[in-house]
Amino acid sequence: MERSLNDSSPASSSGSRLRRAAQRPESAALQLVSRMSAILRALENQPVGLSLGQIAKATGLPRATVHRIVDALEVEQFVAADTLYGGVRLGPAVTRLAASAFADFKSSVRPFLDALCRRVQETVVLTTMRHGRLTLVDQVPPERPLHVVISPSIDLNPCYTASGKSLLATSSDTEIVRVIKPWLNPPTANAIGTIPEFMAQIAEIRRTGVAYDDEEVAEGACGVALDVRDSSGAIYSVSVCVPSVRYHRHVAEIRDALIVTRDQIENHCGVRILREVLPGAEQERRA
């Protein structure tokens, strides 16, 4: 009886085994990279780190696997032991890579920030969240006597700055509450003081896409901000800081200019996000 073409011969079975064996190292390597990525993502925005058990729970990996991978990541400085809290946190190698990415994005978008500053004649600020903290990446001051300047040496409050609120609005409600709890202490009469009030602001920012600071951080200083993405999906905030004496007269103009700049940056970075067009900016975006 003739053997069907679909029947297996010893030679074909041997060939299949060899092909599968050749594929195993690549498959195992991809699985290892996937597991390493899952562990690093679990440690993101965890300033005090996580225990091995917490990492295992967050990633769904066996504790022994987590232990083995964490040991390897620690050798390469991608994670580090937190001697104060006893857990594991992101290491200096991640910080160096992030700093390099920030530097690349900063230099790439600087011409757009310069152009926005010239247009509105106010200070333009680029910020992002790093390990749960609002971080200054760049700022462009205008050439006029009275303007707002952000000191690089101070901790920026994510609850009351327009940039902080715009970034927090992109996070989950649970993450927002975790981040804002240490900061929710109104520094001015205009600042809100409860989590429900803050979450109501976040809901409005998510609806409109724009965050505002009307003398909430400091009397005499206001701001308008939008979130902006780079090609890797990292989220930044572009904001315009304005003295209160000019804020209310120009806030709509500043908002529209920010929308145009945000679209220009994301288009330059190859980012495609469907966003609602706010009134007043549509005509210029089409131009």
Neighbours of 233 (CB within 10 A): 7
Neighbours of 219 (CB within 10 A): 12
Domain membership of residue 275 (yes or no) is yes
Q: How far apart are the C-alpha atoms of 108 and 110, rounded to whole Å?
A: 6
| Domain count within the chain | 2
Residues 78 and 106 in one domain: no
Q: How far apart are the C-alpha atoms of 248 and 225, rounded to whole Å?
A: 15
Q: Nearest-CA neighbor of 215 among 280, 160, 254, 158?
A: 160
Confidence of residue 223 (pLDDT cuts 50, 70, 90): very high
Domain membership of residue 180 (yes or no) is yes
Could you list the residue range(s) of the whole structural domain that residue 77 is in? 10-90
Neighbours of 84 (CB within 10 A): 9
Residues 241 and 124 in one domain: yes
Q: Which of 62, 90, 118 is the last residue of a domain?
A: 90
Residues 84 and 106 in one domain: no
Confidence of residue 54 (pLDDT cuts 50, 70, 90): very high
Q: What is the CA radius of gyration of the chain?
A: 25
Arithmetic mean of pLDDT over the chain: 83
Q: Is the pLDDT of residue 244 over 80?
A: yes
Domain membership of residue 227 (yes or no) is yes
Average pLDDT over residues 71-82: 89
Residues 260 and 131 in one domain: yes
Domain membership of residue 4 (yes or no) is no
150-189 pLDDT, tens digit per residue, is 887 778 888 999 999 999 999 999 989 988 888 888 999 9
Residues 126 and 183 in one domain: yes
Residues 14 and 121 in one domain: no
Domain membership of residue 131 (yes or no) is yes
